[in-house]
């Protein structure tokens, strides 16, 4: 069980690098990737490529979170915290890819919404991993 | 097992994720058939039926390989929740899951029939997508009902 949680930890870290390389590492470069840049003659990303990333994000997100949440529910004793974190992590991981495609199709507001939800679900998933490892260490 | 009721939360969210994955999957398929061109949706459907976009074996394998794993795993994960339900009979769940797997294989391999010239029209791909999505939505409904 510890191995699968460790694998999820590595997945979350590598997922940040994947999105960094595909979309960019800061808001300006993500903006250029999504909308292009007239001054530097950069074309926006193709909708096919972005939608494929969103499609993969949804699949990987739910599979990794199903594994993590199933383990955490088994170990966690603080039911109130657990319920809130479960809702927050699952909702933000669902909204993040939706916001990314909306950012491409409508406005830059959703770009910030994507950044917020993406960072939130990764932070909460890391929190769950830390809590599971703490439980493994305690007798 | 403690906290048993809390398992309903990730299962409930799973249903929404699956719907989003199905929508983006269909969207990707339509884009590969020329959705972003100026013609309307109905014209595109007629064009897919009359003359589907030709794919090479390389294109087919590139799409089929990850989908074989991902769709198989997704159907299995959603269907296995029916094992714990008490509201829908096990026989119905088993029948639906089996049909869903058959529709899944039909959906993945439909393009092979077009590529090798067994079927000239693209109706087989559209029909297989509709069948797979329809059966999956019924399964999702059954899981939601048994939550």
Secondary structure of residue A37 in the 3-state scheme: strand
Confidence band of B132 (pLDDT split at 50, 70, 90): very high
Partner-chain residue, chosen from A51, A94, A101, that has the shortest CB–CB distance to B17? A94
* B66, closest residue in chain A (CA to CA): A56
pLDDT above 70: residue B11: yes
At residue B1, the pLDDT reads 58
Least confident range from B2-6, B88-92, B104-108: namely B2-6
Question: Residues B31, A51: contact at Cβ < 8 Å?
Answer: yes
Instruction: Tell me the count of A-B CB pairs closer than 8 A.
Output: 67
Q: Tell me the nearest-neighbour CA distance from A70 into chain B, angstroms.
A: 7
Least confident range from B16-25, B40-49, B72-81: namely B40-49
- Cβ distance of B28 and A52 shorter than 8 Å: yes
ipTM: 0.90
At residue B141, the pLDDT reads 92
Partner-chain residue, chosen from B10, B18, B21, that has the shortest CB–CB distance to A86? B10
Rounded to whole angstroms, what are the CA distances from B80 to A5, A67, A90, A91?
22, 15, 20, 23
Chain B touched by A55 (CB under 8 Å): yes
Question: Residues B126, B48: contact at Cβ < 8 Å?
Answer: yes
Burial degree of A28 (CB within 10 A; 0-12, 13-18, 19+)? exposed
At residue B37, the pLDDT reads 67
pLDDT above 80: residue A4: yes
pLDDT above 90: residue B24: yes
Question: Residues B123, B49: contact at Cβ < 8 Å?
Answer: yes
Chain B touched by A52 (CB under 8 Å): yes
At residue A51, the pLDDT reads 94
Tens of pLDDT, residues A103-118: 999 888 999 999 999 9
DSSP string covering B45-110: HHHHHHSPPP--HHHHHHHHHHHHHHHHHHHHHHHHGGGG-SSS-HHHHHHHHHHHHHHHHHHHHH
At residue B137, the pLDDT reads 94
* B25, closest residue in chain A (CA to CA): A55
Tens of pLDDT, residues B82-102: 887 778 788 888 899 999 999
Confidence band of A18 (pLDDT split at 50, 70, 90): very high
- pTM (two decimals): 0.90
């Amino acid at each position: 069980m510890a191995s699968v949680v460790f694998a999820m930890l590595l997945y979350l870290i590598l997922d940040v690098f994947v999105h960094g390389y595909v979309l960019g590492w800061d808001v300006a470069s993500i903006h250029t990737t999504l909308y292009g840049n007239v001054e530097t003659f950069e074309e926006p990303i193709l909708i096919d490529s972005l939608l494929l990333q969103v499609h993969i994000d949804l699949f990987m997100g739910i599979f990794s979170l199903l594994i993590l949440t199933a383990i955490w529910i088994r170990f966690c004793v603080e039911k109130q915290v657990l319920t809130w974190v479960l809702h927050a992590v699952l909702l933000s991981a669902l909204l993040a890819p939706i916001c990314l495609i909306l950012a491409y199709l409508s406005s830059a507001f959703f770009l910030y919404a994507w950044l917020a939800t993406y960072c939130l679900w990764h932070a909460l998933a890391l929190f769950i991993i830390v809590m599971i490892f703490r439980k493994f260490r305690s007798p | 097992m403690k906290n048993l009721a809390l398992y309903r939360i990730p299962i409930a969210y799973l249903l929404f994720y699956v719907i989003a994955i199905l929508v983006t999957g269909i969207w990707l398929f339509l884009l590969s058939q020329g959705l972003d061109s100026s013609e309307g949706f109905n014209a595109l459907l007629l064009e897919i039926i009359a003359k589907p976009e030709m794919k090479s074996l390389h294109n087919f394998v590139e799409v089929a390989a990850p989908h074989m794993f991902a769709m198989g795993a997704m159907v299995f994960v959603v269907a296995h929740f029916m094992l714990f339900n008490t509201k829908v009979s096990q026989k119905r769940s088993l029948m639906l899951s089996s049909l869903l797997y058959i529709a899944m294989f039909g959906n993945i391999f439909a393009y092979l029939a077009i590529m090798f010239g067994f079927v000239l029209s693209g109706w087989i791909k559209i029909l297989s997508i509709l069948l797979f999505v329809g059966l999956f939505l019924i399964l999702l409904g059954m899981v939601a009902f048994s939550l």
